[in-house]
Amino acid sequence: MEQKRVLTLTDPVANKTLALPVMTGTEGPAVVPIGNLYRELGYFTFDPGFLSTASCRSAVTFIDGEQGVLLYRGYPIEQLAQHSTFLEVAYLLMYGELPSARQRDDFTHTIDCHTMINESLKRFYDGFYHDAHPMAIMVGVVGSLSAFYHDSTDIHDPHHREVAAHRMIAKMPTIAAACYKHSVGEPVVYPKNDLGYAANLLHMMFSVPSEEYVVDPVAERALDLIFMLHADHEQNASTSTVRLAGSSGANPFACIASGIAALWGPAHGGANEAALKMLEEIGDVKNVPKYIARAKDKDDPFRLMGFGHRVYKNYDPRAKVIRAACHEVLAKLGDPDDPLFELAMALEEAALKDEYFIERKLYPNVDFYSGLIYKALGIPTNMFTVMFAIARTAGWVAQWMEMIAEPQQRIGRPRQLYVGPPRRDYPVTD
């Protein structure tokens, strides 16, 4: 019989001991539940940035950052990238198993039924100036969805939760494409449900009413691949934001809007946009040593964007897949001799040989190469993080549904180490 592991914490001053039973999951490090610590010993734990804190129990995604492993519901990302599609992955994340052929068709049909957005919602876009960042528009538009879909905001009703999840996955491409159309001053294009998920997005972004538009299958497959790679990544900043917002009972549309806001930052989903801008700024292979030196200089805020990861201390498995896809996409759609691709490879090579990056285990992450693919597909830089948000919606809704269904679900309420002034009296002057 397996021996139960217990950690013992002793406070010699109070002369108290607390036995903490160790919990093990299916993979990854064991965890020590410390929920009783305050009640028993009067301490909080202190872990800004959650370096050693598991915030929840989850069966959706597993990452082994040391080995460079990423599993969705147990399936390795490399295998999914080779054999699956984004919608199948979305189903897998939401329901826990790969769909049968019938379930896949039904799910696709359900998503297709929800691709349109309310006509009134379209007017929302007009309130934004034409040069508004598409992420700013997206946060606003997604947040407003709860005002349109009252029939799917009762979080205590499993059917409402499921319908809200379907709506989010289905409407994100339509909302994203409308953000783009608004920025270029073209009419919004309606979804065409005989197209696949990624193809529909390309159609809504790049077709115009006056001309026939045929989606390139290489572009469709590349976008679908990127979406699969970005679909979930366990308890990252945006997913944790969705969970925290959701823990208060907020409606799912508001929760996803909060996730989009958290994703926007350059340390998270904004890195794809920042990485491409960085490559453009570096400009030439001959400038690589200068920028490597800047990234290492602690007095310079410059960092190599698309490099490093909180969890991966090895090559990001998604980056490996995307790097290979990049060759293929550029050969077929873009410029195979794209100087930015050549530059990206030179920068990666130089960093991977550099002691600073080796010591800190800094490797390219998924966003080092994704921008080059987006660029080859004709997607403008300010839409890169929007693309990420579309894909991550599958993970956000799966994680949100898991959280709500958890029997012991409680509001998330971190504690703090207060370092402000102690109690003092208001200075009363007569």
- Alpha-carbon gap, residue 61 to 74, rounded angstroms: 7
CB of 299 to ligand ACO, least distance (A): 12
Catalytic residue among 159, 367, 425, 430: 367
Point out which span in 57-65, 206-214, 281-289, 364-372 binds ligand ACO (CB under 6 A): 364-372
- Alpha-carbon gap, residue 43 to 257, rounded angstroms: 34
CB of 241 to ligand ACO, least distance (A): 13
Confirm whether 203 is a catalytic residue: no
Subset of 163-182 contacting ligand ACO (CB under 6 A): none
Interior angle at CA 190, CA 189 and CA 192, nearest 5: 120
268 binds ligand ACO (CB under 6 A): yes
307 binds ligand ACO (CB under 6 A): yes
Q: Which is nearer to ligand ACO, 287 or 409 (CB)?
A: 287
Catalytic residue among 114, 160, 166, 309: 309
Q: Which is nearer to ligand ACO, 163 or 278 (CB)?
A: 278
Specify the long-range contacts of residues 45-49, CB closer than 8 Å, at least 24 apart: 46/417, 49/310
Q: Which of 295, 326, 379, 391 binds ligand ACO (CB under 6 A)?
A: 295
> Residue 19: in which H helix or E strand, if any?
strand 16-21
Look at residues 377, 172, 346, 365 and name the one whose alpha carbon lies nearest to residue 260.
172
- Alpha-carbon gap, residue 393 to 404, rounded angstroms: 16
User: How many residues sit in the footprint of ligand ACO (CB under 6 A)?
Assistant: 18
Point out which span in 90-98, 154-162, 185-193, 264-272 binds ligand ACO (CB under 6 A): 264-272
How far, in Å, are 10, 57, 178 from residue 37 at the CA level? 11, 19, 50
- Alpha-carbon gap, residue 162 to 152, rounded angstroms: 8
How far, in Å, are 74, 228, 319 from residue 79 at the CA level? 11, 11, 14
Cβ-closest position to ligand ACO: 308
CB of 313 to ligand ACO, least distance (A): 10
Three-state SS at 313: coil
358 binds ligand ACO (CB under 6 A): no
Burial class, 217, CB count within 10 angstroms (exposed 0-12 / middle 13-18 / buried 19+)? exposed
C-beta of residue 170 within 8 angstroms of C-beta of residue 193: no
Point out which span in 16-24, 118-126, 128-136, 300-308 binds ligand ACO (CB under 6 A): 300-308
Beta bridge partners of 10: 17
Taking 3-state DSSP, the helix, strand and coil percentages for the chain, each rounded to the nearest 5, stand at: 55, 5, 40
Point out which span in 82-90, 212-220, 339-347, 357-365 binds ligand ACO (CB under 6 A): 357-365
CB of 71 to ligand ACO, least distance (A): 17
DSSP character string of 206-273: H--TTS-----HHHHHHHHHHHHHHS--SS-HHHHHHHHHHHTT--HHHHHHHHHHHHTSTTTTTHHH
Q: Which is nearer to ligand ACO, 167 or 318 (CB)?
A: 318
Q: Which is nearer to ligand ACO, 115 or 239 (CB)?
A: 239
Q: Which of 143, 306, 317, 371 binds ligand ACO (CB under 6 A)?
A: 306
305 binds ligand ACO (CB under 6 A): yes
Q: Which of 14, 30, 59, 267 binds ligand ACO (CB under 6 A)?
A: 267
Which amino acid type is present at position 196?
Answer: G
Binding mask 213-232 for ligand ACO (x = CB under 6 A): --------------------
Phi-psi region of 8 (alpha: psi -120 to 50; beta: other; left: phi over 0): beta
Q: Which of 122, 277, 294, 303 binds ligand ACO (CB under 6 A)?
A: 303
Q: Which of 83, 159, 360, 415 binds ligand ACO (CB under 6 A)?
A: 360
Confirm whether 367 is a catalytic residue: yes
Q: Which of 143, 196, 252, 308 binds ligand ACO (CB under 6 A)?
A: 308
Which amino acid type is present at position 30?
Answer: A
Binding mask 311-350 for ligand ACO (x = CB under 6 A): ----------------------------------------
Give the interface with ligand ACO as residue ranges (CB under 6 A). Answer: 267-269, 271, 295, 303-310, 360, 362, 365-367
What positions carry a catalytic annotation? 309, 367
